[in-house]
Structure 1
Amino acid sequence: ALIGGTRLAFADDTLAEIKKRGELTTATEMQFPPFDISDNGVYKGVDRDLVDAVAKEMGVKVSYLDLPWTSVLPGLEAKKFDLCIAPVTITKERMKRYAFSVPIADATAALMKRANDASIMKPEDIAGKTVGGQKGTSQVEQLKAFAAKLPKPVEVKEYVDNNQSYADLAAGRIDASVNSLPNLQYAAAQRSDAFAVILPPFGQPTYFSWVARLDDKTLMDAINAAILKVEADGTMGEIQKKWFGQTTDLPKTVPEPSI
């Protein structure tokens, strides 16, 4: 009972410490447009706009760390910062280890090809081809599961970040790239001469969320309350229109993961 009480007190202390110092410390990888972008050293994107609005609701300032994706969740567990604002796909395994916020965006896995490639018209057409994606993402894992059901094997190349995958796709070194649908739609819109999204998405409907340590329930409750307030007052819709060109209704609670 004493140990349990100590754990609860420690969990409560994270939010209390944030309030005391007046700052929420966050981390992401700033190579994941349109969610996280480093523009000549200036941090921009969906997550930047949204976390600024959330922190304002909480009455605190916010700081941002730029880390490689493979270092973000380990850094959270090591208590190097308070909140991971890198979009994390809600999965059954991750829910065992982290506290998830209500969804901040769609995360359904999809594919992108070269705009002039008529050999891929639907997701199943990647059979026998090479597809790239970011190492350590649920989208790559979903791709592997999807590819295993196809009549010809798919070579999956894993990259440090999605920009490398997109560069190899444009250069013809791979045949397609995997990512979430919003990321690919943004990339294709920026370079419509080079890229086209393959529709429909091949993945099961999933969502992106922010994550905290599993013990930090009080902090996540405060984050969720602020996100829902930002949704209700129209700020979320403005952010979506700015970066996605349209608004999307999102679940108001953490959904049961499908993957």
Structure 2
Amino acid sequence: MSFLRQFAFTAALGAALLFGPVATASAEDALARVKSSGELKVGTETAFAPFDFIDAGAHVGLNVDLFDEIGKEMGVKITWVALPWEGVLPGLEAGKFDMVAGPATITKARMARYRFLPPIGDATDALLKRKDDKSVEKPADIAGKTVGAGKASSQLAQLQAYVATLPGKVTIREYVGNNEAYADLAAGRIVAVANSLTNIAFVAKQRSDTFEVVQPAFGPKSYFGYIAPKDAEHASLTDAAQAAILKIKADGRLAALQKKWFGASFDTPDAVPEPNL
């Protein structure tokens, strides 16, 4: 459900105005409020497997399992608020929830406006294609063709930057949900979908008779992280969530969840790195 996802200032600010002003000042800080209510509200989309998706009517994925562990560490229950991705960051701006699962690709623009929790996955951008399509064997083969990516995502922004370097014009279709993009890919309406390597590897594994990942990835090395507001009111809450994630990582629970959802665990830095994007 983010890049990865590139934060567009004009779109997010405009949508934030529709939601209302950023929620900041209150009589108690965010951690005290969450502890008092016993509830941590988390915004996300539910079409970004294996992080967040709907399976047999249930919301499942690495985010669900990981936030369950975060909730245990913090002594609160997790309440999910699901929105299309383009509404998630404006929803955070409007105070509709306390943080964003997503996860979102860590970018310079986002770090300037939000605070990220420690990375929990690889967000490097790559291409998914139909397994029987021999016209796309490497990323540059999309020149002159039509490809898809998630609307308002970092993966879309990376794809736009990449195709600008190719000799033939590439038509890009923007999708509100990844499932729609994958359906168009399977139907032959587009030749590839750009998304994070972790996401498309999961899709290719689930539908190995239909899809495969184009090697190598075309995007710069990047990571996924959870987003929180960057203000004094939310600092204590974000500190507590960060401490929970680092504990979950240190005792092996994060690696176990990665193996469950990706088939393998992978290294991520404890601190948010300087983004390449």
Using the size of structure 1 for normalisation, the TM-score is 0.95
Shift of 1:40: 3.1
Shift of 1:161: 0.8
The equivalent of 1:124 in structure 2 is 140
Specify whether residues 229 and 117 from structure 1 end up closer, same or farther in structure 2 by C-alpha distance, changes over 3 A only: same
Instruction: Tell me which amino acid in the other structure corresponds to 1:141.
Output: A
Secondary structure at 2:29 match in 1 = helix
Distance 1:165 1:103 in 2: 26
Distance 1:109 1:173 in 2: 21
What root-mean-square deviation, in Å, do the aligned CA atoms of Structure 1 and Structure 2 show?
A: 1.5
The equivalent of 2:244 in structure 1 is 226
Specify whether residues 147 and 59 from structure 1 end up closer, same or farther in structure 2 by C-alpha distance, changes over 3 A only: same
Specify whether residues 228 and 123 from structure 1 end up closer, same or farther in structure 2 by C-alpha distance, changes over 3 A only: same
Distance 2:274 2:240 in 1: 20
**After TM superposition, what 4+ stretches of structure 1 lie above 2 angstroms from structure 2?**
7-12
Mapping of 1:42-121 within 5 angstroms?
Answer: 42-121=58-137
Is 1:237 the equivalent of 2:251? Answer: no
The answer to whether the 8 A contact 1:83-1:210 is kept is yes
Using the size of structure 2 for normalisation, the TM-score is 0.89
Shift of 1:65: 1.2
Instruction: Tell me the alpha carbon deviations over residues 183-212 of structure 1, each in whole angstroms, 9 at most, x when there is no partner.
Output: 000000111111010011000000111111
Is 1:38 the equivalent of 2:54? Answer: yes
Shift of 1:218: 1.9
Percentage of matched positions with identical amino acids: 54
Instruction: Tell me the alpha carbon deviations over residues 129-156 of structure 1, each in whole angstroms, 9 at most, x when there is no partner.
Output: 1110110000010000000001111111
Which of 206, 213, 223 lines up with 2:229 in the alignment? Answer: 213
Secondary structure at 1:166 match in 2 = helix
The answer to whether the 8 A contact 1:11-1:217 is kept is no
Which of 186, 205, 208 lines up with 1:189 in the alignment? Answer: 205
Which of 156, 163, 177 lines up with 1:161 in the alignment? Answer: 177
Specify whether residues 249 and 137 from structure 1 end up closer, same or farther in structure 2 by C-alpha distance, changes over 3 A only: same
The equivalent of 2:9 in structure 1 is none
How many residues are matched?
A: 253
Distance 2:185 2:53 in 1: 20
Distance 1:115 1:86 in 2: 28
Instruction: Tell me which amino acid in the other structure corresponds to 1:171.
Output: A
Structure 2 runs not aligned, ≥5 long: 1-22
The answer to whether the 8 A contact 1:12-1:219 is kept is no
